[in-house]
A and B are shown apart, each in its own frame.
Chain A
Amino acid sequence: MAKGILVFAEVKDGKVKNVAFEMLSAGRKIAGQTGDELAAVLIGKGVAGLAGSLAEYGADKIYVAEDDKLAQYTTDAYSKVLADLIKETDPATVLLGCTVLGRDLAAKTAQKVKAGLLSDCIAIDVEGGGLVFTRPVYSGKALLKAGVPESSPAMATIRPNVLTAEPAAGKGEVVNYAVNLDASDLRQVIKDVILQVSSRPELTEANVIVSGGRGVKGPEGFKVLEDLADVLGGAVGASRACVDAGWIGQNLQVGQTGKVVSPTLYFACGISGAIQHMAGMSSSKCIVAINKDEEAAIFKAADYGIVGDLFEVVPILTEEIKKVIAK
């Protein structure tokens, strides 16, 4: 019978993404209740050195799958390795981060091993001996609780920044996993990678996000938001209106047709709070709204609101926050 939890540890720029530690911490708690083994898998090239960090967050066993063919992510190569590992080690539960890569890898792997897959989950609970996953549906207007019966592996992608990463040492046994990849498995060829250079964190992983909407009035208007974001080491985001107007890149759009984020602190500046935007940020832990229109829907979702012109309020707020941080 399938047993244990397997966490896919995504590596970006030579580091394990934080969502892997968040999943291991959740896995550690579950394992404490069910007695399951908690394993992690590293896939790539030159990733073995990262195993120690996974042990620090509770991994009992760390599979390391290294190969030249895994130096760059392709769905074909990574899903073959992950599916082979699942078939050989028969885990009951497989967790991946709900990132661009994680979503792609999870769907492909799930079909290879005929697994049920719950996407973008925000909670995992043990109920009646099995795992129950909670995920938002219909743009976050409702939540769904579901599980996967024992007949197939339960797979889930977990929204980054929702679960809490807490160090807790695991046994940390490292197992080198022999990769079995044929040329016929690899049909996707990466011709080029174009990365946008940014000193700010990725939206889905940022602890603080300062977003602008129509009230920003133009591309230049983002300057005051960038200054606030930089004081807090945060990211800058935008509503769809700004992206459609060409003021800012689509990669920074938060909302139903953009990124789903859950930072510790979200500033909505000049954003009215359309349901499409709320779908992307309502799971933020603390929401601040700054808007001229006191009737704006965003104030209903906000923990704190200031009715005022963002161009007046935000620069002063930036200075005040600097003072508070310096204390």
Chain B
Amino acid sequence: MNIAVLLKQTFDTEAKIEIAGGAINKKGVGLIINPYDEYAVEEALKLKEKNGGEVTIISAGADTPDAMRQALAMGADKAISVEDPALAGGDEYTTAVVLAKAVSTIPYDLVLAGWREGSAQVAVRVAEELGLPHINVVTKLDIDGGKATATRDIEGGNEIVEVPVPAVITAQKGLNEPRYPSMKGIMQAKKKPIQKLSLGDLGLSADQVAAKVKVQSYFLPSAKAAGKIIGGEAPQAAAELARLLREEANAI
């Protein structure tokens, strides 16, 4: 079974965000693999261990993500990195069209991705672009007899959905426990191939993938005024809090 895994890297959660001239200052910000993508990589590796085949990591952006080496160190076989300056101003539409084209360059039976990459759009858009069914926000996956059966989160519970493969499956926390790359895996990853493609290599022009969304500005949320610490012993403090919630905050 050949599996394509869509990968994105994102700002380290602890990173301090700075804005210069209405744009995010990306210099010096630590980048990590999108946490949900780790579940997708792990699931692909488990399916490969069971069924054989190849796991290909696919990404699109302005340059090669370091996170790609991490996925290769976990055990993925190879990677495709679509890199083009035109992608720097892209949106979810752009990324989806490019990733779908890149996926189409390899034989695949399944496409896996993290369910959320910031906006929870790209993998679903890729499914539409490839004409494939998808199952979103998956916590359990079985592939058997040309079908994918998955348990997915819905509001207030779960549902079990079946689709024919090939299909796009998006991973939610709980699907598995992602492995840590072994030292051997890290060494081997350095030799694994990363194929670099431009938009032109995929037969796409910058116009075809132009962003639909026009960003106007980034700004920081206004700082919150300091809250009130209610002192005193617990009974007095709790009574005072209840009063403030009613009379001042109008919240109860």
- A residues lining the B interface (CB < 8 Å): 12, 74-76, 79, 99-101, 103-104, 106-108, 110-112, 114-120, 132, 136-149, 151-152, 187-196, 198, 202, 204, 208, 232, 250-251, 256-257, 264-265, 275-276, 282, 285-289, 294, 299-309, 312-313, 316-317, 319-321, 323-325
Interface of A is mostly: mixed
* B147, closest chain A residue (CB): A189
Q: Closest residue of chain B to A313, judged by CB?
A: B234
Residues of A within 8 A of B206 (CB): none
Chain A residue numbers with a CB within 8 Å of B88 are none
8 contacts between A and B (CB under 8 A): A103-B120, A117-B119, A145-B217, A187-B133, A299-B227, A304-B241, A316-B238, A324-B246
Whether, in the assembled complex, B180 has its beta carbon less than 8 Å from a beta carbon of chain A, the answer is no
Question: Nearest A residue to B232 by beta-carbon distance?
Answer: A306
Q: Are B11 and A138 in contact (CB under 8 A)?
A: yes
> How far does the alpha carbon of A278 sit from the alpha carbon of B72 in the complex, in Å?
32
- Residue from B174, B242, B246 in contact with A250 in the complex, judged by beta carbons closer than 8 Å: B174
A317 to B252, alpha carbons, bound, how many Å? 13
Which single residue of chain A is at the shortest CB-CB distance from B35? A257
13 more contacts with CB within 8 A, not counting A195-B156, A312-B234, A320-B242, are A108-B125, A112-B128, A117-B213, A137-B24, A141-B17, A143-B218, A285-B251, A303-B249, A304-B227, A304-B244, A313-B238, A317-B241, A317-B242
B216 contacts A195, C-beta separation under 8 Å: no
Kindly list chain A residues whose C-beta atoms are within 8 Å of the C-beta of B243. 324
User: Does chain A have a CB within 8 A of B149?
Assistant: yes
Q: How many angstroms between the C-alpha atoms of A117 and B243 in the bound complex? A: 43
Asked if residues A116 and B91 are in contact (CB atoms below 8 Å), the reply is: yes
* B228 within 8 Å of A (CB atoms): yes
Cβ contacts under 8 Å, B241 to chain A: 288, 304, 306, 317, 320
- Name the contact of A144 in the complex, choosing from B15, B92, B215 (C-beta under 8 A): B215
Nearest-CB distance from B23 to chain A (Å)?
10
Kindly state the separation between the CA atoms of A146 and B149 in the bound complex, as whole angstroms.
38
Q: Do A307 and B120 contact each other (CB < 8 Å), given the known contacts A138-B17, A250-B173, A324-B246?
A: no
Given contacts A138-B11, A191-B149, A285-B251, contact A146 B120 (CB under 8 A): no
Q: Which residues of B contact A116 (CB under 8 A)?
A: 91, 93, 211-214
A110 x B93 contact (CB < 8 A):
yes
- Which residue of the partner chain A has the closest CB to B220? A142
Contact flags B64-97 to A (C-beta < 8 A → 1, else 0): 0000000000000000000000000001110010
Other-chain residue from A251, A287, A324 in contact with B153 (beta carbon distance below 8 A): A251
Asked if B158 lies at the interface with its beta carbon under 8 angstroms from chain A, I say yes
Residues of A contacting B106 with CB < 8 Å? none
Task: Give the chain A neighbours of B49 by CB distance below 8 A.
Answer: none
Residues in B192-240 with C-beta less than 8 Å from chain A: 211-221, 224, 226-231, 234-235, 237-239
Contact across chains for B155 and A202 when beta carbons are under 8 A apart: yes
Is there a chain A Cβ closer than 8 Å to B187's Cβ?
Answer: no
The answer to whether B252 and A321 touch across the interface, beta carbons within 8 angstroms, is yes
CA distance A304 to B224 in the complex (A): 12
Indicate if the CB atoms of A257 and B156 lie closer than 8 Å: no
Per-residue contact bits, chain B 114-129, to A (CB 8 Å; 1 contact, 0 not)? 0000111110110111
Q: Does B134 contact A (CB under 8 A)?
A: yes
Is B14 located at the chain interface by the 8 A CB criterion? yes
Centre residue among B133, B162, B239, B241 by max chain A CB count within 10 A: B241
> Would you call B252 and A325 a contact (CB within 8 A)?
yes
Contacts of A250 in B (CB 8 A): 173-174
Contact B125–A316 (Cβ < 8 Å):
no
Q: Does B135 contact A (CB under 8 A)?
A: yes
Smallest CB gap from B222: residue in A: A143
A305 touches B230 (CB 8 A): yes
Contact assessment for B127 and A143 in the assembled complex, using a CB-CB cutoff below 8 Å: no
Residue of B nearest to A234 (CB): B252
A320-B135 in contact given A137-B218, A308-B234 (Cβ < 8 Å): no
